[in-house]
Amino acid sequence: MSESHPAIGIDLGTTFSAVARLDETGRPTTLANVEGDKTTPSVLFFDGDEVIVGKEAVKAMGDEMPCVADCVKRELGQRIYPKELASRQYPPAVLQAWVLHKLGQDARAQVGQFHKVVVTVPAYFDEAHRKATQDAGYMAGFDVMDIINEPTAAAVAFGYQQGYITAKEGVTQSQTILVYDLGGGTFDVTVMEIGDREFRALATDGDVHLGGQDWDRRLVDFVAEEFITRFGADPRQHPNSLGRLWRESEDAKRTLSARSKANILCEHGGHSLRVEVTRGQFEELTRDLLDRTVFTTRETLNAAGLGWSDLDRVLLVGGSTRMPAIGEMLKDLSGSEPDRTVSPDEAVAHGAALHAGVLLARHAGRSPSFKIANVNSHSLGVAATDRKTGRPRTATVIPRNTRLPVTAKRVFHTQKENQKSILVQIVEGENASPDACSQVGRCSIRSLPPELAARTPVEVCFRYLENGRLTVYVAIEGIDKRVKHELLRENSLSQEALDSWRKYISGLSPMITSEIQ
């Protein structure tokens, strides 16, 4: 069976998603959606009981904004999407599942039935985001074989194009590339080494709250301020006026990538205003956003222990890299023209499909065509108590940019004599204060043996896989079993809820009966 299973990769983007498969020759190709487009807007419209995903949902933004959900990926890891949609609230992962479901159905129309997929995530996604993405895939009816980082996927697609995967003799010359991935909602930068059938991440960093949307927002604000000066009313205050203005601004931004000026029409409260924006003005309005990407890019190069001159090329990925200012900035910094040979909209899905091919080959007992080695994007640790000050402190177990998979241990101690239980609070991030880090989850060990001495060693062991998913083992001296702990995640859905949503989204059950949490 698995021999005939298509290798499918899904790029689940903040603003646009894409699906690719490997054809009979092993070449990745994009699967168009039923509307005939290579990318699908990751936007949902709740039309009564019906959920519409894609282009039609974008159209609804002008008149029915209160029933439209967009940029859901930015909310992943939260308990609930902040907006009520047709009188209901949904966990962000459920909304993502609907997007994935549409992508799956459209792909099946071309390649037939399949369940196994690879889904991509920004390299900078933390544990909670990764778990939520896997859950979304499950609720959409998929068997998510793996999740891989978007810049890595783009590098794989690039490597394929360059013959690093297919060359019969093998390619001996390796190259170091920097993948600069600026999409609609996230920014990722990764330094990679591509060798003969091997892709090795050296360092990765990014910002899950920086993307094309922020550039749009600056135009929206600029026009809204002009509108207020003229008519004394703020179009951002009405959802439909804002929805229309946003669409106009995003369109003007694209025009400014090709031309030196664009017009933005703003209609609100019976007034209408057309504002002209030049490319120079736009670049001035967004300079600080560009600077933020420069800062992160420099940091990542430093983390990899490299300078600009060590790079063989800078690879541009993500729709927002079409803005001329990005290419100019990277040319200034690196001294050479950035590489635009991969399609910024399709490369990630292509890389995911190539990785799906590797996994299917492995399942079928064949040797895979290439290997991926990744690093973690955030340090993982435990909230500990500082013995000297008595204050909470982050104790790192796996520092960021460690090669994965990795198993790392650290020994802590019980605080009091005769302690009855231990709570291991797992955190992710670089801050010395655990409260300022992202809370991954906790595991508690109860019923400790009686009369346990104070300062009994507790060994905490993290097993961190290539896909960024974590398992925790805790061992206490004097107790001879090592316990594997399922993490209790604060904003995660229960298995029962996941199963109910899976049935509901695929149309197998007419109602969602379980609690959303």
Q: Which does residue 254 bind out of Mg ion, ligand ADP, none, counting CB within 5 to 8 angstroms by kind?
A: ligand ADP
- Of all helices (H) and strands (E), which one includes residue 241? helix 239-258
CA–CA separation, 194 vs 178, rounded Å? 11
- Whichever of 183 and 235 has its CB closer to Mg ion, that residue is 183
- Whichever of 75 and 492 has its CB closer to ligand ADP, that residue is 75
- Whichever of 205 and 398 has its CB closer to ligand ADP, that residue is 205
- Whichever of 355 and 442 has its CB closer to ligand ADP, that residue is 355
> CA neighbours within 13 Å on the CB side: how many for 183?
35
Q: Which does residue 190 bind out of Mg ion, ligand ADP, none, counting CB within 5 to 8 angstroms by kind?
A: none
Q: Which does residue 141 bind out of Mg ion, ligand ADP, none, counting CB within 5 to 8 angstroms by kind?
A: none
Cβ neighbourhood burial of 409 (10 Å; 0-12, 13-18, 19+): exposed
CB of 492 to ligand ADP, least distance (A): 23
Q: Which does residue 249 bind out of Mg ion, ligand ADP, none, counting CB within 5 to 8 angstroms by kind?
A: none
Kindly indicate which of the ranges 181-189, 375-383, 432-440, 478-486 contains the residues binding Mg ion, using the contact rule CB under 5 A. Answer: 181-189
- Whichever of 183 and 338 has its CB closer to Mg ion, that residue is 183
- Whichever of 151 and 195 has its CB closer to ligand ADP, that residue is 151
- Whichever of 282 and 412 has its CB closer to ligand ADP, that residue is 282
What three-state secondary structure class fits 287? helix
- Whichever of 311 and 323 has its CB closer to ligand ADP, that residue is 323
Closest CA to 176 of 66, 360, 312: 312
CA–CA separation, 126 vs 107, rounded Å? 28
CB of 15 to Mg ion, least distance (A): 8
CB of 232 to ligand ADP, least distance (A): 30
- Whichever of 16 and 164 has its CB closer to ligand ADP, that residue is 16
- 122 lies in the binding site for Mg ion (CB under 5 A): no
CA–CA separation, 369 vs 354, rounded Å? 9
CB of 14 to ligand ADP, least distance (A): 4
What three-state secondary structure class fits 350? helix
What three-state secondary structure class fits 327? helix
Q: Which does residue 468 bind out of Mg ion, ligand ADP, none, counting CB within 5 to 8 angstroms by kind?
A: none
CA–CA separation, 67 vs 34, rounded Å? 23
Rule CB under 6 A: which residues touch ligand ADP?
13-16, 183-186, 211-213, 250, 253-254, 257, 318-320, 322-323, 345
In the region spanning residues 6 to 65, those forming contacts with Mg ion, defined by CB under 5 A, are: 13
Could you tell me whether strands 198-207 and 371-373 are parallel, antiparallel, or unpaired per DSSP bridges? parallel
The residue within the footprint of Mg ion, chosen from 9, 92, 183, 235 (CB under 5 A), is 183
- Whichever of 195 and 211 has its CB closer to Mg ion, that residue is 211
Q: Which does residue 96 bind out of Mg ion, ligand ADP, none, counting CB within 5 to 8 angstroms by kind?
A: none
CB of 14 to Mg ion, least distance (A): 7
- 235 lies in the binding site for Mg ion (CB under 5 A): no
Q: Which does residue 243 bind out of ligand ADP, Mg ion, none, counting CB within 5 to 8 angstroms by kind?
A: none
CB of 242 to Mg ion, least distance (A): 24
Kindly indicate which of the ranges 2-10, 50-58, 175-183, 428-436 contains the residues binding Mg ion, using the contact rule CB under 5 A. Answer: 175-183
In the bound state, the residue with its beta carbon closest to ligand ADP is: 212
Q: How many residues in total does the chain contain?
A: 517
CA–CA separation, 381 vs 410, rounded Å? 9
Residues 6+ apart with CB under 8 A from 470: 127, 380, 426, 440, 462, 463, 464, 487
Q: Which does residue 345 bind out of ligand ADP, Mg ion, none, counting CB within 5 to 8 angstroms by kind?
A: ligand ADP
CA–CA separation, 381 vs 429, rounded Å? 8
- Whichever of 13 and 92 has its CB closer to Mg ion, that residue is 13
CB of 33 to Mg ion, least distance (A): 16
CB of 306 to ligand ADP, least distance (A): 25
CB of 323 to ligand ADP, least distance (A): 5
CA–CA separation, 72 vs 55, rounded Å? 16
C-alpha distances in Å from residue 425, one per residue of 229, 352, 466: 51, 33, 22
Q: How many residues bind Mg ion (CB under 5 A)?
A: 2
- Whichever of 325 and 373 has its CB closer to ligand ADP, that residue is 325
Closest CA to 297 of 328, 323, 330: 330
Is the distance from CB of 311 to CB of 330 less than 8 angstroms? no
Cβ neighbourhood burial of 20 (10 Å; 0-12, 13-18, 19+): buried
* Secondary structure, 3-state, 481-514: CCEEECCECCCCCCHHHHHHHHHHHCCCCCCCCC
CA–CA separation, 123 vs 467, rounded Å? 10
- Of all helices (H) and strands (E), which one includes residue 229? helix 212-231
Q: Which does residue 136 bind out of ligand ADP, Mg ion, none, counting CB within 5 to 8 angstroms by kind?
A: none
Q: Which does residue 104 bind out of ligand ADP, Mg ion, none, counting CB within 5 to 8 angstroms by kind?
A: none
Kindly indicate which of the ranges 17-25, 164-172, 182-190, 373-381 contains the residues binding Mg ion, using the contact rule CB under 5 A. Answer: 182-190
Q: What are the strands, taking DSSP E only, across 239-339? A: 261-268, 271-278, 313-317
Kindly indicate which of the ranges 18-26, 53-61, 177-185, 228-236 contains the residues binding Mg ion, using the contact rule CB under 5 A. Answer: 177-185
CB of 1 to Mg ion, least distance (A): 31
C-alpha distances in Å from residue 343, one per residue of 27, 30, 206, 349: 15, 11, 21, 10
Using CB under 5 A, list all residues that contact Mg ion: 13, 183
